[in-house]
Amino acid sequence: MIGRPGSAATTAAVAAAVAAAVVLALAAAPLVLAPYAVTVLTRILVFALLAMSLDLLVGITGLPSLGHGAYFGAGAYAAGWVTLHASPSGPVALLVALTAGGLVAAAAGCVAVRARGIFFLMLTLAIGEIVQQLAESWHEVTGGSNGLYGIPAARVGGAALVGDQAVHWWVLAVAATAAAGLWLLASSPFGHALRGIRDNEARMRALGYRVYGYKLAAFVVAGAVAGLAGGLLSAQQRLVTPAELGLGTSIPALLAVTIGGAGTLWGACVGAAVVVLVRDHLGASLGGHGSLLLGAVFVAVVYLLPGGAARALSMPRRRG
Amino acid sequence: MTTKRITRRRMLGAIGTAGALAALPACRKRSDDSGDATRSTGSGKRVKVGLVIPQSGVYAPLGTDMKRGWDLWLERHRGMLGPYQVTTVVADEGESPQTGVQAVQKLLQRDEVDVLVGIVSSAVALASQTPVKEARKVLVVANAGAGAITGASRTPYIWRTSFTNAQISSVMGQHLATAGAGGPVYLIAPDYAAGAEVLAGFRKTFTAGGGQIAGEAKPAFGKTQDYQPYLTGIRESGARAVFCFFSGAEAVSFVKQYSEFGLAGKLPLYASGFLTEGSVLDAQGDAAIGIQTTLHYSTELDRPANRELIAAYREKFSATPTVFTVQTWDAAAVLDRALGTATGLDGDSVAAALGTVGAIEDSPRGAWSFDGQSPKQNMYLRVVEKRGAAYVNAVVRDLGVFAQVS
Amino acid sequence: MPAWLDTHLVSVLNGLAIGFLLFILAVGLSLVFGMMDVLNLAHGVLFLTGGYMAWAIAGEHPSWLGFAGALAAAAVVGSLAGVGLSLATERLARRSHLDQALLTLGLALIAADALSVMFGDDVHAVGPPPGLDGSVSILGSAYPVYRLAIIAVGAALAAAVHRIVERTALGALVRATVADRQMVSAVGIDDRRVRVAVFGIGSLLAAVAGALGAPIYGVRPGLDATVLVLALVVVVIGGLGSVRGALVGALVIGQIETLGRSLLSDLASFVLFGALALVLVVRPHGLFGDPSGTRS
Closest CA to C23 of C218, C173, C202, C291: C202
**CB nearest to C114's CB, from A292, A294, A302:** A292
B213: which strand partners? B185
Alpha helix segments (H runs only) across B180-242:
193-208, 228-236
User: Under DSSP, is residue A211 helix (H, G, I), strand (E, B) or coil?
Assistant: helix
**Residue B23 forms contact with A (CB below 8 Å):** yes
Q: Which range, A142-151, A171-180, B89-98, C131-140, has the best average confidence (pLDDT)?
A: A171-180
At residue A147, the pLDDT reads: 92
The residues, ordered by sequence, that sit 6+ positions from B147 with a Cβ below 8 Å of its Cβ are: B164, B165, B166, B197, B404, B405, B406
ipTM of the predicted assembly exceeds 0.95: no
Closest CA to C247 of C48, C16, C10: C16
Supply the angle between the helices A290-304 and C97-119 in degrees, to the nearest 10.
150
Question: Which of A18-27, A35-44, A74-83, C256-265 is the least confident region?
Answer: C256-265
At residue C182, the pLDDT reads: 81
Residues of chain B short of pLDDT 50, as ranges, are 1-10, 31-42
User: Of B272 and C139, which is predicted with more confidence?
Assistant: B272
CB atoms B229 and C18 under 8 Å? no
At residue C186, the pLDDT reads: 86
Closest CA to B168 of B290, B277, B304: B277
Burial of B24 per CB tally in 10 Å (0-12, 13-18, 19+): exposed
Question: What is the Cα–Cα distance from A20 to A36, expressed in whole angstroms?
Answer: 24
Question: What is the Cα–Cα distance from A142 to A148, expressed in whole angstroms?
Answer: 6
State the number of CA atoms in the 13 A half-sphere of A287 facing the CB: 6
Residue C275: how many CB atoms within 10 A of its CB? Answer: 19
State the number of CA atoms in the 13 A half-sphere of B246 facing the CB: 32
User: Of C2 and A123, which is predicted with more confidence?
Assistant: A123
The residues, ordered by sequence, that sit 6+ positions from B297 with a Cβ below 8 Å of its Cβ are: B273, B323, B326, B364, B365, B380
Q: Taking a contact as any Cβ pair under 8 Å apart, which residues of chain B between 38 and 57 contact chain C?
A: 56-57
Region for residue C148 given its phi and psi (left: phi exceeds 0; alpha: psi -120 to 50; beta: otherwise): alpha
The chains found to touch B (3+ Cβ pairs under 8 angstroms) are: A, C
Task: Count contacts between A and B (CB, < 8 Å).
Answer: 108
Residue B16: how many CB atoms within 10 A of its CB? Answer: 11
CB environment A62-91: b (16+ within 10 A), e (fewer): bbbbbbbbbbbbbbbbbbbbbbbeeebbbe
**Residue B7 forms contact with C (CB below 8 Å):** no
Residue B35: how many CB atoms within 10 A of its CB? Answer: 9
**CB nearest to B249's CB, from C8, C220, C259:** C220
Question: What is the Cα–Cα distance from B340 to A258, expressed in whole angstroms?
Answer: 55
C195-210 mean pLDDT: 92
Residue A160 backbone phi and psi in degrees, to 5: -80, 145
Provide the pLDDT confidence category of residue C240 given band limits of 50, 70 and 90.
confident
Residue A51: enclosing H or E segment and its boundaries? helix A35-55
Residues of C whose CB is below 8 A from A306: 95
Convert the pLDDT of each residue in C4-31 to its tens digit.
Answer: 777 788 899 999 999 999 999 999 899 8
pLDDT at A4 over 70: no
The chains found to touch C (3+ Cβ pairs under 8 angstroms) are: A, B
Closest CA to C250 of C151, C105, C120: C151
Q: How far is CA B97 from CA B215, B291, C261, in A?
A: 32, 32, 28
B92: which strand partners? B53
- CA–chain centroid gap for A207, Å, is 31
Chain C interface mutation, best of B228, B246, B258, B391, highest count of C Cβ atoms under 10 Å: B228
Convert the pLDDT of each residue in C146-202 to its tens digit.
Answer: 999 999 999 999 999 989 888 888 888 888 887 887 888 888 887 788 888 889 999
At residue A2, the pLDDT reads: 55
A269-275 mean pLDDT: 94
Convert the pLDDT of each residue in B10-40 to its tens digit.
Answer: 455 555 555 555 555 555 555 444 344 434 4
Quote the minimal CA–CA distance from B209 to chain C in Å: 28
Contact present, A79 and A235 (Cβ < 8 Å): yes
Residues of A whose CB is below 8 A from C103: 298-299, 302
Residues of B whose CB is below 8 A from A237: 98, 101
pLDDT at A53 over 90: yes
CB atoms B98 and A244 under 8 Å? yes
Provide the pLDDT confidence category of residue A255 given band limits of 50, 70 and 90.
very high
Convert the pLDDT of each residue in B241-280 to its tens digit.
Answer: 999 999 999 999 999 999 999 999 899 999 999 999 998 9
**Residue C287 forms contact with A (CB below 8 Å):** no
User: Of B4 and C255, which is predicted with more confidence?
Assistant: C255
User: Under DSSP, is residue B94 helix (H, G, I), strand (E, B) or coil?
Assistant: coil
CB atoms C261 and B230 under 8 Å? yes
Residue A31: how many CB atoms within 10 A of its CB? Answer: 9
At residue B33, the pLDDT reads: 40
Q: How far is CA B202 from CA A20, B170, B172, in A?
A: 60, 4, 7
Contact present, B89 and B101 (Cβ < 8 Å): no
pLDDT at A58 over 80: yes
Q: How far is CA B197 from CA A170, B58, B294, in A?
A: 38, 21, 15
**Residue B281 forms contact with C (CB below 8 Å):** no
The chains found to touch A (3+ Cβ pairs under 8 angstroms) are: B, C
**Residue B232 forms contact with C (CB below 8 Å):** yes
pLDDT at C112 over 90: yes
> What's the CA dihedral at B290, B293, B296, B300 to 10 degrees?
0
CB atoms A150 and B126 under 8 Å? yes
Q: Architecture of C3-282 per CATH?
A: Orthogonal Bundle (1.10)
CB atoms C273 and A123 under 8 Å? no
Q: In chain C, what are the domain boundaries?
A: 3-282
CB atoms C113 and A119 under 8 Å? no
3-class SS shares of chain B: helix, strand, coil, % to 5? 45, 20, 35
At residue B111, the pLDDT reads: 93
Return the percentage of chain C with pLDDT > 90, whole number. Answer: 49
The residues, ordered by sequence, that sit 6+ positions from A241 with a Cβ below 8 Å of its Cβ are: A145, A146, A147, A148, B96, B97, B98, B123, B127
Question: Which of A4-18, A264-278, C94-108 is the least confident region?
Answer: A4-18
Question: What is the Cα–Cα distance from C10 to C12, expressed in whole angstroms?
Answer: 5
User: Under DSSP, is residue B206 helix (H, G, I), strand (E, B) or coil?
Assistant: helix
Closest CA to C26 of C134, C154, C140: C154
Contact present, C82 and A264 (Cβ < 8 Å): no
Convert the pLDDT of each residue in A285-305 to its tens digit.
Answer: 776 788 888 999 989 988 888
Question: What is the Cα–Cα distance from C251 to C234, expressed in whole angstroms?
Answer: 9
Residue A61: how many CB atoms within 10 A of its CB? Answer: 27
Question: What is the Cα–Cα distance from B286 to B275, expressed in whole angstroms?
Answer: 14
Q: Taking a contact as any Cβ pair under 8 Å apart, which residues of chain B between 60 and 89 contact chain C?
A: 60-61
| Strand ordering across the sheet containing B158-160 | B80-81, B84-92, B46-53, B115-118, B138-141, B158-160
Alpha helix segments (H runs only) across chain C:
3-36, 43-53, 64-90, 97-119, 145-167, 169-179, 181-186, 191-217, 223-238, 243-255, 261-263, 268-282
**Residue C255 forms contact with B (CB below 8 Å):** no
**Residue C190 forms contact with B (CB below 8 Å):** no
Question: What is the Cα–Cα distance from A255 to C206, expressed in whole angstroms?
Answer: 25
CB atoms A33 and B26 under 8 Å? yes
Residue C246: how many CB atoms within 10 A of its CB? Answer: 32
Residues of C whose CB is below 8 A from B56: 116, 121
The dihedral built from the CA positions of residue A65, A67, A70 and A73, taken in this order, carries a sign that is: positive
CB atoms B225 and C121 under 8 Å? no
Query: Side chain identity at B189, as an amino acid letter?
Result: A
Residue B173: enclosing H or E segment and its boundaries? helix B165-179
